[in-house]
Amino acid sequence: MFDKLKQAEERFLQIEEKLQDPDTVSNQDEFAKLMKEYKNLSPIIEKYREYQKTFDDMEGARLLMDEGGEFYDMALEECKVCKEKLEAIQEELKILLIPKDPNDDKNVVVEIRGGAGGDEAALFSYVLYRMYNMYATSAGFKTELISCNQTDIGGFKEVTFMISGDGAYSRFKFESGVHRVQRVPETETQGRIHTSTATVAVLPEAEEVEVEILPTDVIIETCKSSGAGGQHVNKTESAIRLIHKPTGIVVECQDERSQLRNKDKAFQILRTKLYDMKQQEMDSKIASERKSQVGTGDRSERIRTYNYPQGRVTDHRIGFTVYSLEAFLNGDIDEMLDKLATADAAEKLKGGNE
């Protein structure tokens, strides 16, 4: 581990020097690339230097102990404190050295679809959409609606939206899967609890350089927008539908009044879906790779239950329950996301030690 840390520090110092070079500063692409690497290395180097300082302090205390005299007891206590601190820092360094998911800093495209439960599932899809939007806003992310298919009573049969901001994927990536709700629908006259589901897919946004789309592979159709959205809806053919012939993927974008902007967004979503498909194929080929405690990313896997009568939310992957359903649905989901990230890091650490 310490060999890796020394190499990381050497690389950190090299980048620091390059970032002060006028030639690097004038090359925007190179400068941005180095700044990203510098930012990723910074917490590791900061913690490593804290380790080195604590180690030096412990060595100083040991020398004082060797001299004996009136400062022996104080030096002994200092040595004990430093040793405990070193052990804690070492564990933190192990986690920091876990290879970072290359998609963590990317924006995400989120798709929510009503599952089992008809209108009730569509209403729950809207609840999830609202929850993610409220959390994203409070966390400093930007959200942007791409397309939606609304029901007459205000639910979403399906909705696609983008969450933009540094580290968006790292926060939302564990939300993919089946979300189950247990509650009494407003239309239920006998007070029976119904169970409905909605599926969530979180896809890291793909850049143009990562996925090549041949113009001959795409059928572009224009159509009128559907659902709530303003006066332009159902009057102009501003909505765009893309059909990717090799994969059969269909993408619709209807949020913008401009047909051109809808087309740009639709191609953005298509690239993201193709990138996700490519990643899924790569992951499935690595059969020997450990399956994370927080799930395999399979969107057919039931990951969480929202129980209204008991006012709780339970994540089945890590066995963690929050007993404040209302606050959770209002976007207070940080604790759950932190627990999932910690469990994933612990599982990767365990896998690396086996």
Q: Is residue 235 classed as helix, strand or coil in its secondary structure? A: coil
Q: What is the mean pLDDT of residues 101-117?
A: 88
Alpha-carbon distances of 322 from 123, 177, 311, rounded to whole Å: 22, 18, 9
Residue for token pair 């189950």: 180
Is-same-fold flag (2-96; 215-283)?
no
pLDDT at 286: 43
Q: Give the bridge partners for 160, in sequence order.
A: 111, 147
> DSSP character for 215?
G
- Going by pLDDT thresholds of 50, 70 and 90, the confidence category of residue 288 is very low
- Going by pLDDT thresholds of 50, 70 and 90, the confidence category of residue 178 is very high
When mean pLDDT is compared over 154-163, 186-195, 204-213, 270-279, the highest value belongs to: 154-163
Give the whole-angstrom CA distance, residue 98 versus residue 352.
9
Query: Considering the domain 215-283, what is its CATH architecture?
Result: 2-Layer Sandwich (3.30)
More confident residue, 291 or 205: 205
Q: What is the pLDDT of residues 120-138, one digit of tens each?
A: 999 999 999 999 999 999 9
Q: What is the mean pLDDT of residues 243-262?
A: 83
Domain 108-209+296-350: CATH class, spelled out: alpha beta
Q: What is the pLDDT of residues 212-238, one digit of tens each?
A: 788 888 888 887 665 544 444 444 567
Residue 350 has pLDDT above 80, yes or no: no
Alpha-carbon distances of 84 from 57, 79, 88, 90, 235, rounded to whole Å: 12, 9, 6, 10, 69
Domain 2-96: CATH class, spelled out: mainly alpha
Give domain limits for the chain: 2-96, 108-209+296-350, 215-283
Q: Is residue 349 classed as helix, strand or coil in its secondary structure? A: helix
* Inter-residue contact 306 to 193 (CB < 8 Å): no
